[in-house]
C-alpha cells in the first residue's frame, strides 16, 4: 500500500459563490475572524501585514480531524485585475512537516468562483489515500464555511441594523 512521506499532488475543489470577488477576498484575508466562522480553526492571530495591509504572517490553531496542529504561516496576496489569490506556506508547526494552500478568486457571471488548493505533509508515514481523504475533507469543509460566511456578510451588508 502506498504511503505518503512527502509533498505529493495537491487536492483542490472549486465552488461558485453568489458574491463579488471583493467580498470573498475580504473574508479570506480576515484571518483573525476565522475562529468565529470556520469549524476547523480554533484560534488565529496575525503578526505582520504586507505594504498593502494584507496578512503576511499568522499563527492558527487547526483542529480538522486527522490534521491537528498549531501552524505558523506565511501569506502572499496577489491581485491580477479582478482576480485574486491568497496563498500560504508553512513556516513552523508542532507536527506537520509542510503545508501549502491557496484560495483563487475569479469573477463569474453570477458572483465568482473560488478554488481552494491544499497540499499537506503530515510529517509521519500515512497511507496516501487516507491523507488525500483528509485533505479533501478539509478543503470541502473550508469552502462550505467560507460560502456561509460570505453569504452572512452579504446579507448583513444588504440589511444593516
pLDDT digits (tens, 9 = 90+) for 43-96: 999 999 999 999 999 999 988 776 789 999 999 999 999 899 999 999 999 988
Model confidence band, residue 6 (pLDDT cutoffs 50, 70, 90): very low
Q: Would you say 52 and 77 are in contact if contact means Cβ atoms under 8 Å apart?
A: yes
For residue 109, the 8-state DSSP code is T
Q: What is the mean pLDDT of residues 142-159?
A: 88
The pTM assigned to this predicted structure is 0.88
Quote the CA–CA distance of 32 and 149 in Å, as a whole number.
Answer: 14
Amino acid at each position: 500500500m502506498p504511503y505518503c512521506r512527502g509533498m505529493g499532488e495537491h487536492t483542490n475543489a472549486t465552488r461558485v459563490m453568489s458574491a463579488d470577488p471583493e467580498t470573498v477576498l475580504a473574508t479570506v484575508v480576515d484571518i483573525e475572524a476565522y475562529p468565529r466562522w470556520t469549524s476547523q480553526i480554533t484560534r488565529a492571530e496575525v503578526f505582520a501585514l504586507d505594504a498593502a495591509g494584507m496578512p503576511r504572517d499568522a499563527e492558527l490553531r487547526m483542529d480538522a480531524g486527522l490534521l491537528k496542529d498549531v501552524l505558523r504561516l506565511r501569506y502572499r496576496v496577489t491581485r491580477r485585475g479582478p482576480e485574486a489569490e491568497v496563498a500560504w506556506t508553512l513556516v513552523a508547526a508542532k507536527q506537520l512537516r509542510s503545508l501549502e494552500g491557496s484560495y483563487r478568486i475569479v469573477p463569474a457571471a453570477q458572483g465568482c468562483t473560488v478554488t481552494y488548493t491544499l497540499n499537506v505533509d503530515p510529517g509521519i508515514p500515512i497511507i496516501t489515500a487516507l491523507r488525500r481523504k483528509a485533505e479533501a475533507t478539509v478543503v470541502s469543509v473550508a469552502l462550505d464555511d467560507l460560502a456561509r460566511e460570505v453569504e452572512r456578510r452579504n446579507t448583513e451588508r444588504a440589511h444593516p441594523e
